[in-house]
Amino acid sequence: MEGNPNNEIPNTKMKNALLNYTLSLADNASVMSHRLGEWCGHGPVLEQDIALTNISLDDIGQARSLYQYAAEQLNNMPTTEKTNLFSDMMLNAKIAAGENLDEDDLAYLRDAWDYRSLLLVEQPNKDWAYTIARSFYYDAFMQLFYKGLQNSKDDRLKGIAEKSLKEVTYHLRWSSEWIIRLGDGTDESHQKIQTAINDLWMYTGEMFKMTDTDKAMAVAGIGVDLAGLHKDWLNNIKNIFTQATLQLPTDIWMQDGGKEGHHSEHLGYILADMQFLQRTYPGLDW
Amino acid sequence: MNTLTPDIVYKLLASVTDPEVPALTVLDLGIVRNVEVSEKGNAPSVKITITPTYSGCPAMDVISMNMRMALLSHGIKQINIESQLTPAWTTDWMSEEGKQKLKAYGIAPPYRKAADTLGLFEEDAITCPRCGSQETELVSQFGATSCKALYKCLSCHEPFEHFKCH
Ligand SMILES: [Zn+2]
């Protein structure tokens, strides 16, 4: 930005891009965490119930770090720059009143169209195979993503990436083992996991799609070149599918939109569940 | 009152344990990164920097509160506890004494340098903390808390927990 006589405009743009970027990462972690948390008490065996809730807890932790960072960014913005960022009335009232926002405000007081999460993570648990397939696609992506984000010029994102990479490595190991176990298991388990990986395939393209925010962040050396991760991701999942005797889904049209706020009805139900308490009893604490 | 020094603060922190693994103090865990003591308005002020173990570890809030309590009960009122993410906490920071305490408590301590990461499906050979046998088997990568995995000893047949290398 050096040498730009009018520093204001690109600065505001960059600030918004960083905020959007941080929120979209936070939203992915939060929605994923919610979905996995729905299994709590319903896991097929105790160890797997514990595994799911452990992973869910890691995701909540990542979401918290990211929402905290997003809230700090917002709190450092002048009020005029943030009056029209969100559509929710409760959130906008807080902003207009000059209140400082925190992680909870961003998780609980944004509507579905303000959520920037991937369509993949809001897909329902359905059965064990769908849950595993969704985690596997996501974990395989996040492992590469956080590796890349470790080189971010933004110290906070770099720190979160460094910490989260350790966690997601365990997650990927778990979901990969299950893909192999189900694929190379009985006829029924093979059939179910093949169906699940086929059905969810259409949501994998969005992970590598560069929105304007992604592009701005990648160019600034803050974000990751998502398109550049695709080859490694494909190779990694192919390797696991081969061990699992599963067929890589054939190329089909990819559904996207979540990163720009266009969600399926599923996210609305998730948020209704997640946000009910704070919307009914604003500011309620334990 | 004697002048407060970081050494004294460290001694007070040595009484604060991890609520989920009570055998370990916060110093054994290696989560205390820095202690600064200064003077504010004629009273000592303490700033403690800690690094969380796992992102979502619910024990961290309790640990911070207990640290505060330990200092408050010694008349230190100005306490600032800050959390720092980078560099990320690693089990390499756990003290040798801490690892011995874990073992005595029945949890197999982390033994590998966390920096040399394993391949996707490679496994650590974990020694049973009860009988010392190396004939053990991973039951689940995830245990009762984020930091532990479940193992089973094939020699003495006891289940046990392993503090994961992280
Ligand atoms: Zn044994």
* Chain A interface mutation, best of B49, B61, B85, B91, highest count of A Cβ atoms under 10 Å: B85
Interface of A with B in 151-190 (CB under 8 A): 155-156, 158-160, 162-164, 166-167, 169-170, 172-174, 176-177
In chain A, where the domains are located: 12-280
B50 and B118 together in one domain = no
B76 and B125 together in one domain = no
- pLDDT grade for A5, boundaries at 50, 70 and 90: very low
Per-residue pLDDT tens, chain B, 166 aa: give them: 568 999 999 999 999 999 988 999 999 999 999 999 999 888 999 999 999 888 778 888 899 999 999 999 999 999 999 988 888 899 999 999 999 999 999 999 998 777 667 677 777 789 999 999 999 999 988 888 888 999 999 999 999 999 988 8
B23 and B79 together in one domain = yes
Domain final residue, candidates B83, B117, B133? B83
Domain final residue, candidates B49, B83, B117? B83
B18 and B69 together in one domain = yes
Over residues A224-229, mean pLDDT: 97
- Is B44 a domain residue? yes
Domain hosting B52: range is: 6-83
CB atoms within 10 A of CB A127: 13
More confident residue, A9 or A92: A92
- Is B39 a domain residue? yes
Domain final residue, candidates B60, B83, B106? B83
Q: How far is the CA of B105 from the centre of ligand 1 (A)?
A: 14
B78 and B105 together in one domain = no
Q: For domain A12-280, give the CATH number.
A: 1.20.1260.10
The count of C-alpha atoms lying within 13 angstroms of the C-alpha of B148, restricted to the half-sphere facing its C-beta, is 18
Residue in B73, B101, B93 with CA at minimum distance from that of residue B31: B93
Match 């494909």 to its residue by tokens: A234
What's the pTM value of the predicted model, to 2 decimals?
Answer: 0.91
Instruction: For A174, name the nearest residue in chain B, comparing CA atoms only.
Output: B141
* Chain B interface mutation, best of A46, A54, A240, highest count of B Cβ atoms under 10 Å: A54
B74 and B19 together in one domain = yes
Q: Residue B45 sits in a domain of what CATH number? A: 3.30.300.130
Chain A: nearest CA to B74, how far in angstroms?
A: 28
Task: Please give the interface size between A and B, counted as residue pairs whose CB atoms are below 8 Å apart.
Answer: 76
Is residue A284 pLDDT above 90, yes or no? no
Q: How far is the CA of A79 from the centre of ligand 1 (A)?
A: 62
B103 and B63 together in one domain = no
Q: What is the number of residues in chain A?
A: 286
B110 and B72 together in one domain = no
Question: Angle of helix A265-280 relative to helix A8-37, nearest 10 degrees?
Answer: 90
B73 and B102 together in one domain = no
Residue in A165, A147, A68, A161 with CA at minimum distance from that of residue B86: A161
- Is B89 a domain residue? no
Question: Which residues of chain B lie closer than 8 angstroms to A51, CB-CB?
Answer: 140-142
Domains in chain B: how many in total?
A: 2
